[in-house]
Amino acid sequence: MFWRIALPMAKPALIVTFLFEFKAKWNDLMTPLIYLHGYHQYTVPLGLYDLLGVYSPSAGGQGDYEWLMAAFVISTVPLLLIFAFGQRYFVRGITLQGYKG
């Protein structure tokens, strides 16, 4: 009964939970600081933070904002792709919440 009834009904909620959790972990900055100690071990937010230190004039950089903006846009592409593939389940989960049976 679980595999035939409960799991198919819960699939949109599980996929939406995966989407939210993936986004939260993708944007996490502080937790990787605990685990990564090497010089070239970066997650995406840590790499972007390092780029801010290199290219931002307020941090002593050259002021090359085109490199920063390109890096920020490229870092959002995986999130957009995952949301595009999970969008139908996201919408289905919202519509099932408002449905009274």
pLDDT tens track for 61-87: 677 778 888 888 998 898 888 888 878
What mean pLDDT do residues 6-19 have?
82
Burial per residue of 61-84, b for 16 or more beta-carbon CB atoms within 10 angstroms, e otherwise: beeeeeebeebeeebeeeeeeeee
Tens digits of residue pLDDT in 39-48: 677 778 878 8
Closest CA to 63 of 78, 51, 76, 45: 51
Distances (CA, A) of 9 to 30, 47, 78, 89, 90: 35, 39, 27, 11, 13
Residues in the chain: 101
